[in-house]
């Protein structure tokens, strides 16, 4: 069983804390990034998401968004899956998409990473 709730650290030393999951799979928490668009110190931002319960013998998939509170005009969406290895270590694998606000439709091409 893979549990999303708790404290997670990624390769860049960013931290994510997920509160307990609701029965329907919804969750919320905080994301503390060490990599900021503005540079400088790390800041916590709110996250909201949902976990899809796996079928028999599968691992749960999940998605969440982070609103980069008070220091950026961007929002990031993450989608991933939770795995447990033979030693019991839980690992989250994710893909992310960051959308930054731009001033015009002509600048739309550079808004998504």
* Structural domain boundaries in the chain: 6-110
Closest CA to 66 of 105, 35, 90: 35
Instruction: Give me the residues paired with residue 14 across strands.
Output: none
pLDDT at res. 37: 46
In this prediction, residue 33 has a pLDDT band, given cuts at 50, 70 and 90, of confident
Q: What is the value of pTM for the model shown? A: 0.83
Residue 72's closest CA among 106, 27, 108, 42?
42
Query: What is the homologous superfamily of the domain 6-110 according to CATH?
Result: Avidin-like (2.40.128.30)
Q: How many whole angstroms separate alpha carbon 43 and alpha carbon 37? A: 11
**Residue (of 90, 81, 91) closest to 58 by Cα position:** 81
């Amino acid at each position: 069983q893979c549990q999303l709730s708790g404290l997670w650290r990624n390769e860049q030393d960013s931290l994510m804390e997920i509160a307990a999951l609701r029965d329907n799979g919804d969750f919320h928490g905080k994301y503390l990034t060490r990599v900021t668009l503005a540079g400088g110190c790390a800041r916590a931002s709110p996250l909201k998401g949902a976990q899809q319960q796996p079928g028999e013998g599968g691992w749960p998939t999940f998605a969440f968004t982070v609103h980069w509170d008070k220091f950026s005009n961007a929002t990031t969406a993450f989608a991933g899956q939770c795995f447990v290895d033979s030693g019991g270590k839980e690992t989250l694998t994710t893909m992310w998409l960051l959308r930054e606000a731009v001033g015009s439709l002509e600048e739309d091409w550079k808004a998504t990473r």
